[in-house]
Structure 1
Amino acid sequence: MSQFTVTGRFKSRDGLAEFETTIDAENENVAREHVLSQLGSQHGLNRTQIDLEEVAQR
């Protein structure tokens, strides 16, 4: 598995919050899906409320 760094923004109570997370995944698409799922679960967000700006392999 490779490591990917995912950056982006999501809607929060105070406006837009930026995030950067590193994740182990098989490919870029799996990394995107995992981050969307994880942030949605932790913050009670829909996928449309999360904007992924960059997915880069480390």
Structure 2
Amino acid sequence: MSQFTVRGRFRSRDGYRTFNKEIEAENENVAREYALSRFGSEHGLKRMQIELDEVSER
């Protein structure tokens, strides 16, 4: 498994908030899906409210 850094922003009540998240995944697509599902469940967001700007391998 590889380490990925996912950067992006999500819509909150006060506008947009940025985030950087370290994720361990098999490939970039899996890291992208994991980030979307995790932010959706933790913050009650839909996928269209989350924007991923960059997914890079460490």
- Please classify the TM superposition score into its range, dividing by the shorter chain length: over 0.9
- Give the Å deviation of 1:45: 0.3
Distance 1:47 1:30 in 2: 15
- Give the Å deviation of 1:8: 0.2
Mapping for residues 3-14 of structure 1, pairs under 5 Å = 3-14=3-14
Q: For structure 2, list consecutive stretches of 5 or more residues without a partner in the other structure.
A: none
Task: Give runs of ≥4 in structure 1 deviating > 4 Å.
Answer: none
Q: What TM-score comes out, normalization by structure 2 length?
A: 0.99
Partner of 1:50: 50
Partner of 1:35: 35
Percent identity of paired positions between Structure 1 and Structure 2: 66
Partner of 2:17: 17
Aligned length, in residue pairs? 58
Distance 2:23 2:46 in 1: 20
Q: What TM-score comes out, normalization by structure 1 length?
A: 0.99
